[in-house]
Amino acid sequence: MAARVVMKQLVIAIDGYSSCGKSTTAKAVAAALHYAYVDTGAMYRAVTLHLLEHQIPFDDLGRVEAALHELTISFRRNRRTGRNEVFLDGVNREDDIRQMVISNSVSEVSVIAMVRHAMVAQQQRMGRKRGVVMDGRDIGTTVFPDAEVKVFMTADVVVRAERRQMELALNGEMVVLDDIIENLRKRDHLDSTRAESPLRRAADAVLLDTTHLVIDEQVDFVLERVSAALFAPQG
């Protein structure tokens, strides 16, 4: 009987700026490899939604800490759409966390050290068994610095804003392009300059500029890096 070949399980970290196609690419890569997919940005959006709905000021650290102990965030696969959706306290809030009001505040929540510590710990638990694709801001630098595949995605800010505008429109939310550009630039600055796990390219991450690429090209780019990692000589 032929020996069964067991392929090693990798951690694939896809970091970068908002609206570069990170989540769409990461989902497709995970599906192609039959890996788990974790949208870490959605976790921070869920925390932001919880704080806003409970009228908890972001600088009231006592109440923020209490909220982190109380709330639960999980992902469940929607069998009809095939996508992983975010559940906050057992309720599907996938569409709610994608609203512009959340985008306007999520970077302010993400800079809070206790929020990052709580989310990073949960993300590390999710990826402990490996065989996972995670996208976010600090996966390759903080969450899984030992990830076998690291990709850092970027794109022209106007192109990113146009993509984000289209996404919002599909959800029935019409937002002026200039407002989205301003939001993205603000988030870029906050994410890149925060003291706790700032957005930056890991030294061993490969750069992927998606300005002129379609999703299939982005997915192929990542899968090529996965193949190289899987079949790299050991030693």
Return binding residues for ATP: 16-24
For 41-187, list the strands marked E by DSSP: 73-77, 84-88, 91-92, 132-136, 149-154
Strand partners, 38: 134
Are 185 and 164 a contacting pair, CB within 8 Å?
Answer: no
Instruction: Say how many C-beta atoms besides its own lie within 10 A of residue 31's C-beta.
Output: 14
Q: Which residues are annotated as a binding site?
A: 16-24
Instruction: Say how many C-beta atoms besides its own lie within 10 A of residue 95's C-beta.
Output: 12
Q: How far is CA 232 from CA 8, 149, 228, 229, in A?
A: 12, 12, 6, 5
Contacts of 179 (CB under 8 A, 6+ apart): 100
- How many whole angstroms separate alpha carbon 172 and alpha carbon 99? 10
The CA-based angle 212-154-105, given to 5 degrees, is 125
The tally of CA atoms less than 13 A away on the side-chain side of residue 215 is 11
